[in-house]
Structure 1
Amino acid sequence: MPKLVTRQQITAIPITEANFQPYGQLITASLDGKVFDETDAALNLRHGTPRFYIMRLHHRGRVFNKITRHNLCTQCLGSLNGQEWFMAVCPPSTKTEPEIDRLKAFRIPGDCFIKMEVGTWHAGPYFDSQVIDFYNLELSDTNVVDHFTHNFSTKQNLEFEIVD
């Protein structure tokens, strides 16, 4: 008999520089000519060839049961065309599984991007639209050699739903 999976709701909070800091950086527009400082994305792409591309995602909804991390690089994500989206994250740690009690969901406007620290657990992007294009900066082989996934439904009989 299959085990029942329990759905937990996570309320999405509006992203700010301060509340996203345990997971990475929120990057917003700056004036042309600004000198490099701590408000710029601090990238770690030294373990391979950087890959910057546009990924087209089709209706993702807001329910998830898996979360992934990359231990060799930072990752940057942002939507094109000003589309709002959601991301669930757990901070990096030395543990082999994400700390569920530190799982947060963020509402991210379409006029910024996020840089996730090396090892940040992440589920998403999620959104309500039919299709959104995202730019993605990671390493060329991130999804082959640096893709560690935790499945909440098989390990804890859980899935999550991001709500407003």
Structure 2
Amino acid sequence: MKFSLIIFSTLFLTVCSQTISILSPTAGAEVVPGQDVTVQLAFANSLTGVEHIAAVVAMINCAGAPCPADASDTLGIPLFAGNYTPQYHEQNLPPYENYTVTVSSTLAVGTNMLTVAHFMLVGASAVPVLEFANVTVSTPSSSSARREMSIRGRTIST
């Protein structure tokens, strides 16, 4: 019994130390409905073998209400679902992958939540792990959002 508890504890600590993180956008960053945003997902290198299977990037439309504490109950509106293969790009950053996604045009003004679900297999026995990460972002009102409009044949930015 003690042996299985030690193995479980070791596996739990190993899995907890290996988590995906959202490097971009940062907390409080402004995202504009209908515009593209680059989502940078990083995964720190570790001694335990990890096989990344997939990632889902989504946005929870908080619609003026407080956003949930985490994304484990719902991911929101899916913006990307597919392979996740982080790579080293810069020496001072962990391996990461960038995804360019289009923010839903129906996103509410105020605070919203960018969510990520990451599925991986950990260790020699390929233990399946599903983890979540999130960051709150700001969506500007239409009056403060930068937009282009045409007035008498001229395009201007406001």
When normalised by structure 1's length, the TM-score is: 0.25
Determine which structure has greater relative contact order: mean sequence separation of CA pairs < 8 Å that are 6+ residues apart, divided by chain length. Answer: 1
When normalised by structure 2's length, the TM-score is: 0.26
